[in-house]
Chains A and B, each alone.
Chain A
Amino acid sequence: MTETLLKYGAFFRAAFKQGLLNRGMLSGLLFFLFILLFIYNRLWEVIGIQDNNSSLNTIYIWYLLFAEMIILSLPKPDRVLTDDIRSGTMAYYINKPISFFLMRYAEALGSMTVSFLVMGGVGSLMTLSLTGVPPFEWRYFPLIIIMCWLSSAINVLFYCGIGLSALWLESTRTLAVAVERLAFIFGGAIFPLSIYPDWFVDIARWTPFYSVYYLTIKLVYDFSWTNLFEAAVLNSLWTVLIVGFVGFAYHHLNKKVNIYGG
């Protein structure tokens, strides 16, 4: 177990280190994040004035920050895995004492964590300067961060699963774009689902994006142990489902590579 952790931990660390060196990408992400926070802050300020509610922008801009930390930190592992499958690279790892999928997942987690932490740190300073102190109590902050990081990890796993579907699909990019759009709509990536009509929320509940994005990020402005528990349970259920699919696809892929090679 320790050896396994050390093995995949090394890939996580290498990708993390590599991500830190990629200053251009990080600067781009932060610039985009700032523009997004700035524009939506102005929007919520105007709505808040009309509704006579001065805390609207504080609530929703902190919500937006955590949503973007999950969405923008995703390092596109679907593309990497699709390339590995299409080019046959995967076959050349089959005779090494490592799971190729877990290796790529650990690398993607490392890249994701760099962006997540940098956006969390710098983004929090930006949000503080734009809207003031966050709507949650500071003692819950570590729990919220951990929950959001775990959601990002599920998100990475989900996109790794999309990458593995290159086994059956001509273009995994189309599927990834479709999923991105659905996550955007049903996950409440810009606006919390609480402002949408009930029928819409009822549909969203059946998608993984409802818990992985919305329920988790909602803890930012509506933290309670019940909400935390609900998010944790639903995320765990979706994780089991995604792991099941990924396990099936990877097993099938190994079998195919086993016979046909690279």
Chain B
Amino acid sequence: MYAIQTKDLSKQYRDVLAVDSLNLSVRSGELFSLLGVNGAGKTTTIKMLSCLTAPTGGDAFLNGKSIVHETAEVKAMIGVSPQETAIAPGLTVRENLKLICGVYGFSKEKSEKRIVEMGARLDLSRIFGKKAGKLSGGWQRRLSIAMALISEPQILFLDEPTLGLDVIARSELWDVIRALKGQITVILTTHYMEEAEALSDRIGVMKDGKLLVCDTAENIKRTAGTDRFEDAFVRIVRGEVK
């Protein structure tokens, strides 16, 4: 079963076609990465799929619900961790998690249960009482992902989740993301080739709003005729691979 299916999904900003007739299918439980250089259309695609911006053409279906006509249903089933860390800086870690439980209408008991679960899962329990704004970048990003996960989403969007993090923090977040595989559908955008290769079931490469290739990392390397994924990406984006 497909968790996400896009049908000629397009977004036009005045004279810029950010996403051009995107046709993409992502299976339930799959970890799918979207790669591309700046301006390729990755973030716009995520924004459309998470109902942040309306498409100017086509449609997409998340577990059968249209992002154009059934936005409330779509919003109830997704979790989003935006490119920038999206936390309330004046609230504690626990209060941030509670905020998201509240906006999803969880009962007090369910909220408490989910907060404890997230605390254990992302190792946040020991900093529950700390102000989010005072945390390091890595911990803020971890909290941001916990906030995206706490609502029990069926589909999780991670927009460049490890951007700007040090090696250790990135490695720790990889473990968190890896643990999600098979449990929920994850759409990941990243600039880090090794990240996409290490984590993804399949990878889509975008350029100028178009999906150039969509396959496993191994198949992409084979198609590009190289052993290194980064080289394969460069060759595809430069149009050297037919």
A and B from one complex:
no
Which residues of A does B touch, CB under 8 Å?
none
